Amino acid sequence: MTAPAPADLAPSRLAMVPFVSVANMLRLVAEVGVETVLTELADAMEEDFRRWPDFEKVPRIASHSAGGVIELMPASDGRLYGFKYVNGHPKNTRTGHQTVTAFGVLSDVETGYPLLLSEMTVLTALRTAAASALAARYLAPKGARTMAMIGNGAQCEFQALAFRTIVGIDTVRLYDVSPEATAKAARNLAARGLTVETCRSAEAAVEGAGIITTCTADKQRATILSDNMVGAGVHINAIGGDCPGKTELHPDILLRSSIFTEFTPQTRIEGELQSLPPDHPATELWEVITGAAPGRRDGAEITLFDSVGFAVEDFTALRYIHDRVEGSSHVEMLDLLADPDDPRDLFGMIVRAGASAAPRPPGQGGPAGHSGPAAAPGR
């Protein structure tokens, strides 16, 4: 926390932007309940997917480096504008950093003024899980009770809980190359009442699972699932292939699957689809949700949600959190926007700040902030 400004530099109402810190996001989720947040987020996302054509949409802007990627993800419905800053650095956990961290902003399109600044690391895990479960509600085989979870890192528990709450699974079969990661996920999920089976290989994990989630992190073309591991009728929720050169599935699986995306132009660059020719058919999830395209057609079909994470999902998450925290104690107000009395006299704010900071001769002026017209409220 910074020191409070002197009274003459005290921020005006327009200068202040609500901020949801990590601590407040955690408090909010704990109070509301993870399952409720996941359900409400999935419902809000479904609403936004139903009005998909209203959104201005672009593939995210990615800055790649040897170890990872930093991305900006903007979306607008003409009334609100949201963007997320997010990174993906698969080697980060070795140095105690997370693979994915994020924060985001929701703004009023009319003035361009931010309405909310929020942490989005926790929120991304929630929104990704909500989106996966929403897709599975339309695509997974009816009555699927068991999900294989390959990759038991930061996203894992969120995915498993969303699938229990929204899709109705009761059993997870966990596998990770790191037994510690699997043990952590097993502990967390068993404590939540899920039946947890830990497995020694990905092959073992997928046995008997109607839904397979791949959620690994590696900046390469990995083969987490090979063709022989995928039987007829399963739903694959592929989360970890989300960058050029970073995929999880053998291309032969894609050739046997009906492929569903968030926003196909972005998925062709970043998702499993990058392994196929650019004209390979794919259906966007909003088309299934609105009934414009069929979802799962029969019990033998392999459905694949080729998730990369799309800006509209983050827009939904920000809009949801904005509504949830309004008027609550889960926000702090940040002095984020310079707000001069005369909107064109931005420089005057610096002049007044200088005057306010200058040492005053003894006996002249009161306490800082009450020293006459030169220091009139300028914010």
Ligand X SMILES: NC(=O)c1ccc[n+]([C@@H]2O[C@H](COP(=O)([O-])OP(=O)(O)OC[C@H]3O[C@@H](n4cnc5c(N)ncnc54)[C@H](O)[C@@H]3O)[C@@H](O)[C@H]2O)c1
Q: Does 254 bind ligand X (CB under 6 A)?
A: no
- Count the residues of the shown chain that bind ligand X, applying the rule CB under 6 A: 28
Work out how close the CB of 277 gets to ligand X at its nearest, in angstroms, rounded to a whole number: 22
Render 7-51 in DSSP notation, one character per residue.
Answer: GGG---GGGEEEEE-HHHHHHHHHHH-HHHHHHHHHHHHHHHHHT
Stretch that binds ligand X, among 4-12, 135-143, 149-157, 347-355 (CB under 6 A): 149-157
Residues 54-113 that bind ligand X (CB under 6 A): 88, 93, 99-100
Q: Does 239 bind ligand X (CB under 6 A)?
A: yes
Is 9 or 239 the residue whose CB approaches ligand X more closely?
239
Tokens encoding 165: 């709450």
Tokens encoding 305: 């949600």
Neighbours of 257 (CB within 10 A): 21
Is 304 or 375 the residue whose CB approaches ligand X more closely?
304
Contact 19, 332 (CB under 8 A): yes
Binding test (CB under 6 A) with ligand X, winner from 24, 107, 213, 307: 307
Is 200 or 370 the residue whose CB approaches ligand X more closely?
200
Work out how close the CB of 327 gets to ligand X at its nearest, in angstroms, rounded to a whole number: 30
Binding test (CB under 6 A) with ligand X, winner from 87, 107, 118, 124: 124
Q: Does 42 bind ligand X (CB under 6 A)?
A: no
Q: Does 188 bind ligand X (CB under 6 A)?
A: no
Work out how close the CB of 307 gets to ligand X at its nearest, in angstroms, rounded to a whole number: 4
Contact 201, 90 (CB under 8 A): no
Is 150 or 259 the residue whose CB approaches ligand X more closely?
150
Nearest-CB residue for ligand X:
153
CA distance 194 to 164: 8
Tokens encoding 39: 């359900």
Binding test (CB under 6 A) with ligand X, winner from 155, 266, 267, 283: 155
Annotation says 77 is catalytic: no
Query: How remote is the C-alpha of 254 from its chain's centroid?
Result: 25
CA distance 15 to 185: 42
Work out how close the CB of 215 gets to ligand X at its nearest, in angstroms, rounded to a whole number: 5
Q: Does 274 bind ligand X (CB under 6 A)?
A: no
Neighbours of 285 (CB within 10 A): 26
- Tell me, what amino acid is at 288? V
Q: Does 308 bind ligand X (CB under 6 A)?
A: yes
Which residues, other chains included, contact 254 with Cβ-Cβ below 8 Å and sequence gap of 6+? 272, 273, 275, 276, 280, 304
Partners of 182 in beta bridges: none
Binding test (CB under 6 A) with ligand X, winner from 217, 311, 317, 318: 217
Ramachandran area for residue 174 (φ above 0: left; ψ -120 to 50: alpha; else beta): beta
Binding test (CB under 6 A) with ligand X, winner from 8, 197, 242, 301: 242
Q: Does 269 bind ligand X (CB under 6 A)?
A: no
Q: Does 178 bind ligand X (CB under 6 A)?
A: yes
Is 21 or 99 the residue whose CB approaches ligand X more closely?
99
Of the candidates 8, 48, 176, 242, the residue annotated as catalytic is 242
320-333 burial, b at 16+ Cβ within 10 Å, e below that, comes to bbbebbeeeebbee
Q: Does 374 bind ligand X (CB under 6 A)?
A: no
SS (H, E, C) 186-208: HHHHHCCCCEEEECCCHHHHHCC
Residues 309-328 that bind ligand X (CB under 6 A): 309
Residues making contact with ligand X (CB under 6 A)? 88, 93, 99-100, 124, 128, 150-155, 176-178, 181, 215-218, 222, 224, 239-240, 242, 307-309
Catalytic residue numbers, as ranges: 242
